[in-house]
Amino acid sequence: MKPSYLQINLKGTLYDLSTPVVMGILNVTPDSFYGGSRYQTEKNIAERTGQILEEGALMIDLGAYSSRPDGVDISPEEEMERLDFALKIIQKTAPEALISVDTFRASVAERCVKEYGVAVINDISGGIIDDKMFETVADLHVPYVLMHMRGVPQTMQQFCQYDNLLPDILFDLAKKVEQLRKLGVCDIIIDPGFGFSKTLDQNYELMHHLREFGIFDLPLLVGISRKSMICKFLGGSPETSLNGTTVLNTLAILGGASILRVHDVKEAVDTIKLVQKVGV
């Protein structure tokens, strides 16, 4: 019998995560850190939606606010305007798609679920930017990605000082899991927050200790796709970081990851298949 914590309820259907799944990234921002992930025209959004699904992703993670440290802080209205545009296109071209919306704003999350049937809310701030987020996702009855971060995207790299990195992060997440449980949130996904309020070395320390996040008995999402932790260590740029991404995704699966959030869906799907074939 498969453990219940490796199942997630997406729009009334239970999905098994005992074999890892892929979440494909679709950004409708002009300034995401990886130029290859920016989609702003109707044609590009429709094509990217089809590509993500055809290559085998379970979910599409739709983002309209760039979380890069030097990104522009846009208003909730502008964020929602971008999401409205993209969600209408996705509904028309792939109505069956399971959509996760990457937002830290409760009002945006509420509209996306109520107006477009979005399946998951992916909050990079773990509820610290908008104190209404936890109550909102509880009322919406949708899965919630709880990520660890300090500060806001524009200041997060100023908050990398920890007394003890892993225990501090686990304790912070544990408090928030308890808050969410008390509000009645059933489906919680843990995200360690690679690249958010962590130095390069801290990111790799977290990857080394990834299995420790199994203490929560909750699905684990890892998002390291083409991030600076790769190109700052190996050299190059996000555009040249696919190989490093694949290596780290392999380590993430071996460390217990249930969901890989990626730009390159086919490569991640192939990685999962090969790890499963070896049976490690």
Tokens of 51: 């590509």
Query: What is the SS3 assignment for 271?
Result: helix
Q: Is 150 a catalytic residue?
A: no
Query: How many CB atoms are located within 10 Å of the residue 122 CB?
Result: 26
Residues 225 and 57: their CA atoms lie apart, in Å, by 14
Q: How far apart are CA 170 and CA 116, in angstroms?
A: 33
Residue 211 among the catalytic residues: no
CA distances from 142 to 118, 188, 232, 257 (A): 8, 9, 36, 20
Q: Exposed (0-12), middle (13-18) or buried (19+): which is 75, by Cβ within 10 Å? A: exposed
Residues 48, 82, 105, 227: which is the catalytic one?
227
Among 181, 261, 266, 277, which one carries the catalytic annotation? 261
Residue 41 DSSP one-character state:
S
- CB neighbour list of residue 256: distance below 8 Å, 6 or more residues apart: 210, 211, 213, 214, 220
Looking only at the bridges linking them, the beta strands covering 259-262 and 7-10 are unpaired
CA-CA-CA-CA torsion sign (93, 96, 101, 107)? positive
141, 94, 100: which is closest to 124 by C-alpha? 100
- Active site positions, annotated: 227, 261
